[in-house]
């Protein structure tokens, strides 16, 4: 049998770091990454045929679990019809209609192949529509690896950003302002000073790349107010949260708390592709009409709206829009995080948890963090030990304390009970 260690050694010889996306390398937690051989339902098996309860779900899209029969049937049918055409298909229209039907803020969407591509295109469109250059993002929020978004925050009032990746010239991010998440005062100061120069503000309303941190209602309320007042576009990055935390995404959660709330634009990915490379961005028609071929903002992609990916996405959306789906998923997710919290209490280890829909997070801390600085102050070493303990007991969590987790419709009460038992053993180990 080929081992994970052998595969990792082979991979490092031909792939930088041995992986095609950095978090997979286990650098944050140490050890050898598991090379996955197959998956079914709520489980994955590695190269050594060890089974794990999967709480990554391909970082969110496997909301139904792996290999759902209806999704498999749709994909197999689409494969027989053709892999790619480079021409329009009816399924592109159907997927756009399905997204728009569930998200009231959107009138038109453009399909692309990745969340990074969608986020990058949204920035270009916002700048093209407003004629402005500055953009605002928040420390700890990840919007893909487009140059303008790879920026580290400074302290105090927003300053010009500094790139956090080599190869990104300082002049590329000079118009990117980085603010502290959930800091209303800083938001007000920034708009007072530079509001008329800001093209858009991009926000993960439930940030999944600093584990799981919610934007407060006062923060989102003030953000909407300031964007409207100054003519900036408010962009919700729902690559992770879209169709994951609720049928209408995170914006539907906030719409219940803030009367009349809507973002101006939205970025989608993951669930809408059901595990295939597919993403989208959308908004009102008067914004979207600025895209080529109608308008002056150029965006294109050979594989955009791929016929196999759209079939996968449509089949997934058909399942999750069935009555009672999110109520059942929410209950499972809440039970899962309650189990981890109870294990912490029984082991005498401080753990705080949060969840929405099928997305969750937990921290080794006494209170839930509200921003990136607070996340960084939680117990990283304990998380790393816990991660490996859970892995040893057959539970696969994200290999970094900065990543959210995901429950699928396929997880059972037995899986949740096994997860709690594993957590208790890992905490006591």
Catalytic residues: 142, 237, 270
Cα-based distances in Å from 182 to 190, 202, 206, 297 = 14, 13, 11, 32
**Which residue bears the tokens 């990840």?**
142
Q: What is the DSSP string of 64-92?
A: T-BT-HHHHHHHHHHHHH-S--SS--HHH
Q: Tell me the β-bridge partners of 283.
A: 108, 265
Beta strands in 142-217 (DSSP E): 151-152, 162-163, 176-179, 198-203, 206-207, 213-214
Q: Count Cα neighbours of 150 within 13 Å in the Cβ-side half-sphere.
A: 15
Name every residue whose Cβ is closer than 8 Å to that of residue 72 and which is 6 or more positions away in sequence.
none
Q: What angle do CA 225, 229, 233 make, to 5 degrees?
A: 80
Euclidean distance between CA atoms 424 and 186, whole angstroms:
41
Burial of 60 per CB tally in 10 Å (0-12, 13-18, 19+)? buried
Q: Where are the alpha helices (DSSP H) in 297-379?
A: 307-320, 325-347, 372-376
Q: CA-based Rg of the chain, rounded to a whole angstrom? A: 21
**Under a CB-based contact definition with an 8 Å cutoff, are residues 145 and 165 in contact?**
yes
Q: How far is CA 303 from the centre of its chain?
A: 21
225 backbone dihedrals φ, ψ, rounded to 5°: -60, -45
Euclidean distance between CA atoms 113 and 91, whole angstroms:
15
Residue of 268, 212, 215 whose CA lies nearest to 239: 268
Name every residue whose Cβ is closer than 8 Å to that of residue 403 and which is 6 or more positions away in sequence.
23, 59, 208, 209, 211
Euclidean distance between CA atoms 350 and 364, whole angstroms:
6
Residue of 168, 177, 106 whose CA lies nearest to 139: 177
Tokens at 352, concatenated: 């705080």
């Amino acid at each position: 049998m080929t081992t994970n260690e052998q595969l990792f050694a082979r991979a490092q010889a031909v792939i930088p770091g041995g992986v095609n996306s950095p978090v997979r390398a286990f650098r944050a937690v140490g050890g050898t990454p598991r090379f996955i051989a197959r998956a079914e339902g709520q489980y994955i098996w590695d190269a050594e045929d060890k089974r794990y309860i999967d709480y990554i779900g391909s970082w969110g899209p496997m909301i139904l679990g792996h290999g759902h029969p209806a999704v498999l049937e749709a994909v197999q049918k689409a494969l027989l019809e053709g892999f790619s055409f480079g021409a329009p298909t009816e399924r592109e229209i159907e997927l756009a209609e399905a997204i728009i039907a569930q998200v009231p803020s959107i009138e038109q969407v453009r399909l692309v192949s990745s969340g990074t591509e969608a986020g990058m295109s949204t920035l270009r469109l916002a700048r093209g529509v407003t004629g402005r250059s500055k953009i605002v993002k928040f420390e700890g929020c990840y919007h893909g690896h487009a140059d303008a978004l790879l920026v580290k925050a400074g302290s105090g009032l927003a300053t010009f950003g500094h790139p956090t990746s080599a190869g990104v010239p300082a002049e590329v991010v000079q118009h990117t302002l980085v603010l502290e998440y959930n800091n209303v005062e800083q938001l007000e100061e920034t708009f007072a000073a530079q509001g008329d120069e800001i093209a858009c503000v991009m926000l993960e309303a439930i940030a999944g790349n600093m584990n799981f941190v919610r934007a407060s209602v006062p923060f989102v309320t003030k953000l909407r107010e300031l964007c409207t007042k100054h003519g900036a576009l408010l962009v919700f990055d729902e690559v992770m949260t879209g169709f994951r935390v609720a049928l209408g995404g995170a914006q539907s959660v906030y719409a219940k708390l803030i009367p009349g709330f809507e973002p101006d634009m939205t970025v989608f990915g993951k669930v809408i592709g059901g595990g295939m490379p597919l993403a989208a961005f959308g908004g009102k028609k008067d914004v979207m009409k600025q895209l080529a071929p109608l308008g002056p903002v150029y965006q294109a992609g050979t594989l955009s709206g791929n016929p196999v990916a759209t079939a996968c996405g449509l089949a997934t959306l058909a399942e999750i829009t069935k009555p009672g789906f999110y109520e059942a998923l929410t209950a499972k997710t809440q039970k899962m995080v309650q189990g981890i919290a109870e294990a912490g209490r029984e082991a005498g280890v401080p753990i705080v948890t949060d969840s929405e829909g099928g997305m969750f997070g937990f921290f080794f801390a006494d209170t839930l963090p509200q921003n990136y600085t607070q996340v960084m102050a939680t117990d990283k070493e304990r998380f790393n030990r816990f991660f490996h303990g859970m892995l040893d007991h057959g539970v696969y969590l994200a290999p970094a304390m900065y990543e959210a987790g995901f429950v699928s419709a396929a997880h059972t009460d037995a899986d949740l009970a096994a997860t709690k038992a594993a957590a208790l053993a890992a905490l006591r180990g």
